[in-house]
Each structure stands twice: as structure tokens, then as C-alpha cells.
Chains A and B, each alone.
Chain A
Amino acid sequence: QSALTQPASVSGSPGQSITISCTGTSSDVGAYNYVSWYQQHPGKAPKCLIYDVSNRPSGVSDRFSGSKSGNTASLTISGLQAEDEADYYCSSYTTRSTRVFGGGTKLTVL
């Protein structure tokens, strides 16, 4: 199974909004509404920000939002803050009952 496609890096200034895309196929992202997003700070385990395309776990800021159109999912972070600087990964369930991750996107807050 091939990794989902994410931009290698994105950047934004504090207070701005950024969007990270995650492109898959009709066998993963396009097949189900089981896309999740994870934030990983250096040396730490990832943390779930979004599940089932657009749902936030308890305790996650509403500055994080998710959406999907066809084979592409997106994570939007509004009101960028310095602590948002991290790596972000999307993940999708697949038609083979497996899970696949994106290659990851490094967010730089300028």
C-alpha cells in the first residue's frame, strides 16, 4: 500500500490560517470517512487532533478542523500559534482493512 501524499512542509505567521492536504485514492481516503490527523512534536509520541474526517477528541482546540472531498482530506489550523510548530500526519483506513499514513508535513510558524 502506498503512503498518502502530503506536502513536505508548510509555513505561516502567528494568527494566520494554514491548510495541509492529504491525497489518497478511492481505496483509502475516498472509500470511507475514517481519516484522522496526528500532531507530533520532536521526541514525542503523536497525538490525535482529528478523527473520522472532522471530529475533534475531547481537549483538542477548535482551532483545528478537518474536511474531505473525494480522495483528498484536509487539516486546517486557524489562529496559528508558536506551539503549533510540529509535524502533522494524516491516516486513513483502507479497503484492505489496513491503515495507511501520509508522509508527514512539517509546519513552521514564522
Chain B
Amino acid sequence: QLQLQESGPGLVRPSETLSLTCTVSGDSIRIPSYHWGWIRQPPGKGLEWIGNIYYSGSTYYNPSLESRLTMSVDTSRNQFSLRLSSVTAADTAVYYCVRSYGDYGMIDYWGQGTLVAVPS
């Protein structure tokens, strides 16, 4: 059974960089056709797609976050990561790491989510 687990600081100071890692267990991150990504949800609000990465390193980012966003993959550790720079209180959210079929298809696995707070 595939499992995804987010890890990283729960509190990030304004203007600093938010860094999260997702560890994939139960299968290889190198599975063809599957993309790995991040979705966030501010408290009491809806879902926002952040971006996707393929095991080759190809990335697709939300245009509204692209200037602050970097995603990377470490196939040797079966992990992928997110870095979001210059954070503000608006970046406070539960961050989920996910797997999708292609960059267009069903999101079939979700991590449990991790709350990252940026104080105002």
C-alpha cells in the first residue's frame, strides 16, 4: 500500500522560506506515468494546487506561485520536496503531498497533511 508522509517545520517566519519533504513508501517514486505534487488548504478554505513534479525532474507550477516556488525530487531517497520563498501569513495552510496519474489525472493518494503556520 502506497503511503505519503509530509515532514517539515510547522512554523515559518514571514519573509523566510517554507521547506517540506514528502517521503513515499510502498512503491518507487520512479513509477512511469505518475506525477508527484503538492496541494494546500488554508484553514477553513478550499484546495489550491501548488505544482507537480515527475521523477525525471520535470515540473509544472501554479502560475500564481511560480516566482516563489521550487520543487525537486530525490529518487535515491524516494522523496520529493517543496520550497516556497518569501512567505507571508497568506501561505498558512495544511500542505498535502499527493500522487496523480499523469499531470492531468486522478489524485489517487494523499498524505495526511501538515499544517504550516506563518505568523502575521
Contact = CB atoms under 8 A, between A and B. Distances in A.
Contacts of A21: none
Interface residues of B, number: 23
Interface stretch (B9-17, B18-26, B107-115): B107-115
B79 interface: no
A45 B106 contact: no
Contacts, number: 62
A47 B113 CA distance: 13
B55 interface: no
How extensive is the interface on chain A, given as a class? 20 to 34
A89 B104 CA distance: 16
Given A36-B106, A52-B106, A98 B47 contact: no
Interface of A: 1, 3, 32, 34, 36, 38, 45-48, 51-52, 57, 89, 91, 93, 96-104
